[in-house]
Structure 1
Amino acid sequence: MLRVADVTDFLESIAPRRWAFDWDPVGLQIGRPDAPADRILVALDVNQTSLALAEERDSQLLVIHHPLIWKPIAHLREGNDVEGKVARIVRGGRSFFGIHTNWDAAPGGISETLAARLGITDLEPIGSGATVEQVKVVVFAPSESRNALIDAMSAAGAGRIGNYERCAFWSEGTGTFVGNANANPTVGHAEQIESVAETRIEMVVDLARLAAVVKALREVHPYEEPAYDLVTLRPTVPQPLSRIGNISPMTARELVALADEQLGAKTWLYGDPDRRIERLAVSGGAAGSEWVAAKAAGADAFLTGEFRHDEGVAGQDQGFVMMASGHRETEHPGMEALALRLRERFPEAEVVVALP
């Protein structure tokens, strides 16, 4: 039997919670990790269409882009509001998992799927994203303990940079110390000056994993009193929301026609329709404020789902081209891509997609 935890662990591996903004309540909102998940429904929203399909197919796990619960619920009453939908999901014995801005930003997620639909190549991440507080752990140990320490700290969560793991820097040096009468040094003797060939190891770690990394360090380190430093780093954006890349040269008017065809959309254009577009930035959903980062990154135009009128005017006044193709139209392809990933990972499961 496939469990909810099996599916959510996979989703965490491709779109970690840390990539979601702190205001975004992603994750398992309804249900329990050990519940069955042999039948999965993927959708953009929880609405009457997706709920009816879940009931028709007896889906056990709903994987939904937009979280359902955004504020505390005081009552569970029947109806079409949030409380009614929660009650309906609970009554059906189903689980609910939200995967929102973390999937917007993830490789292969909302923005990258949108870019692929529009034929954008040579993608680069740009723009805003969830910030992550990080610490650099610097530890000193005998040279022969180097790999054991790097392995243990890596397993606890240190040394993860983008698509790479077990990232570390090390250099050789000499450590010296004098242990007092109560000391039991691993190398040398108490109450004597000792000099030992040591390795300095440096690894970065998210603040949320720091305690686990320090625990692993202390468990593996051969010294009675390990020496290590913790250096606070500037917050980083490990996975920005938007993407920029190259497209076959065309006018803004032609790009609107392409977006309408590929997304089934009715695209709104702010800017010169005859502007030549070669570098295009995209971000699914409501990402109007991302146009500033897109322009700064060298884009000729920015396409998203929706933006405020004043954002469109501001971009247009600066000679920039902005396009809005619809919230659903720019995000649903990314949910279809997620369903495909789930089918590939769990071929034994039934995975259905609800139309928005």
Structure 2
Amino acid sequence: MFARGETVVQLMEKLAPKHYAVQDDKIGLQVGTLRKEIKKVLIALDVTPEVVDEASALGCELIIAHHAVIYRPLAHLRTDTPAGALASALLRNDIAVYISHTNLDTADGGMNDWMAEALELEGRGVLEEVHTDKLFKLAVFVPETHAEAVRNALFQAGAGWIGNYSHCSFNVPGTGTFLPREGSEPFLGKPGKLEQAAEIRIETVVPDSVRKAVVSAMLKAHPYEEVAYDLYPMDLKGRSFGLGRVGKLASAESLDAFAERVKTALDVPFVRVVGAPDKSIRKVAVLGGSGSRYIRHASFAGADVLVTGDIDYHTAHDALAAGLAIVDPGHNAEKIMKRKVAEWLGNKLKEQKYETEVFASQIATEPFRLK
């Protein structure tokens, strides 16, 4: 059985939820339709004519890309222009394009974590906060016989996390009363007779990002026909998600040695370096894509170096003045996402018994070369 397009995207959004994206970012379905069976998916950094040809040759019905194929407003859709010709090729081959951009950058276990892991950074934190998970308190009343089963269902769905502690809950015994009415099918008691039951009030914390999944798991595990529960927002800050990562190397190394590390880890042919060759590097900030505006963020975080792309001349001077080194591997260093997303999504589809295949694009979309 092959997954439908809507299902593939729903799985992708478990890795990179759309609400993690920065405001006005061009994400989501941009070309074609998801209302079809998907036998093959291609993961790409950019959607170019060569990538479309690759997808067509493989027989892919869907491309999931990092960079938007429609980024600037289109005044027209003429097939004698590059943008129009690209759209025409996609539509002619019935290939849909779905974009996962800053939501993938921000996601836990997404783009910036992959880059930080490649550089072997330890004790990672967020460079700039974009989204904070709201917290809810869930209280549910469960018969004593089923309290453990319901608790386990809540925890497995993502409830009960407080900092680095999981399976957190508070349990209070009590007596529940109810009178089943005509047409009811009570788990305990009989219709028309007032019933008293020994119950446990289970309280736990639920992040907004898994709220629906937690409630669904609770209702499925609960034995009652009608489940009594409360769910209300808390005035507490949940987990933060954001762009970029800050972490430390296991030991300090020179800037030039670190630049070589970046070239190897991110598989790029060259890097641009700002700073003295022998500058000691231990604390590192990394941000995939274009990071010129994050110089202050990296300096404020106490980083010795910022690894990011598209650094301009004046920003480089600003970094030097601030005592911050820069290693610029280019925007195309984000190509790390092709293999990572393909592996993640492919595994999720297999777990759900779908035969849909996922491929990482082999097309190089780096526009620059050294001469």
Q: TM-score, normalising length from structure 1?
A: 0.75
Instruction: Tell me which residue corresponds to 1:241.
Output: 243
Q: Give, in angstroms, the shift of residue 284 of structure 1.
A: 1.0
Name the residue aligned to 1:101: 102
Q: 2:357 aligns with which of 330, 349, 354?
A: 349
Q: Does 1:264 align with 2:230?
A: no
Taking a change above 3 Å as real, the CA distance of residues 158 and 175 of structure 1, as seen in their structure-2 partners, is: farther
Larger mean CA deviation between 233-242 and 85-94 belongs to 233-242
Aligned length: 350
Whole-angstrom distance in 1 between the partners of 2:305 and 2:2: 44
Task: Please show how residues 231-310 of structure 1 align to structure 2 within 5 Å.
Answer: 231-234=233-236, 236-243=238-245, 244-260=247-263, 262-269=267-274, 271-307=275-311
Residue 111 (structure 2) pairs with residue 110 (structure 1): yes
Normalised to the residue count of structure 2, the TM-score between the two structures is 0.72
Unaligned ranges ≥5, structure 2? 366-371
Q: Tell me, in whole angstroms, the C-alpha distance in 2 between the residues paired with 1:204 and 1:342.
A: 25
**Matching of residues 145-294 of structure 1 within 5 Å:** 145-147=146-148, 149-150=150-151, 159=159, 167-174=167-174, 198-206=200-208, 209=211, 213=215, 220=222, 222=224, 226=228, 228=230, 230-234=232-236, 236-243=238-245, 244-260=247-263, 262-269=267-274, 271-294=275-298
Task: Determine the C-alpha separation between the residues in 1 that align with 2:279 and 2:263.
Answer: 18
Q: Could you say if the C-alpha distance between residues 235 and 83 of structure 1 is closer, same or farther in structure 2, counting changes exceeding 3 Å? A: farther
Q: Provide the aligned C-alpha RMSD in A.
A: 4.6
What CA deviation, in whole Å up to 9, does each residue of 1:212-252 have, x standing for no partner? 93996699585979362513345545443323231553222
The 3-state SS of whatever aligns with 1:259 is: helix
Tell me which residue corresponds to 2:63: 62
- In the other structure, the counterpart of 2:327 is 323
Quote the offset at 1:303 in angstroms: 0.7
Contact 1:160 1:166 in 2 (8 A): yes
Cα deviation, 1:274-312, whole Å, max 9, x if unaligned, reads 310122221211234444444454432121123455654
1:2 aligns to what? 2
CA distance in 1, matches of 2:57, 2:83: 21
Superposed structure 1 runs of 4+ greater than 6 Å apart: 71-74, 162-166, 175-179, 184-187
Contact 1:19 1:105 in 2 (8 A): yes
Q: Which moved more, 1:310-319 or 1:271-280?
A: 310-319
In structure 2, C-alpha distance between the alignment counterparts of 1:240 and 1:290, rounded to whole Å: 13
Q: Cα 1:247–1:94, aligned 2, differ >3 Å: closer, same or farther?
A: same
Using the TM superposition, give the Cα deviation of residue 61 of structure 1 relative to its aligned residue in structure 2, in angstroms. Answer: 1.4
Residue 54 of structure 1 aligns to a residue whose secondary structure is helix
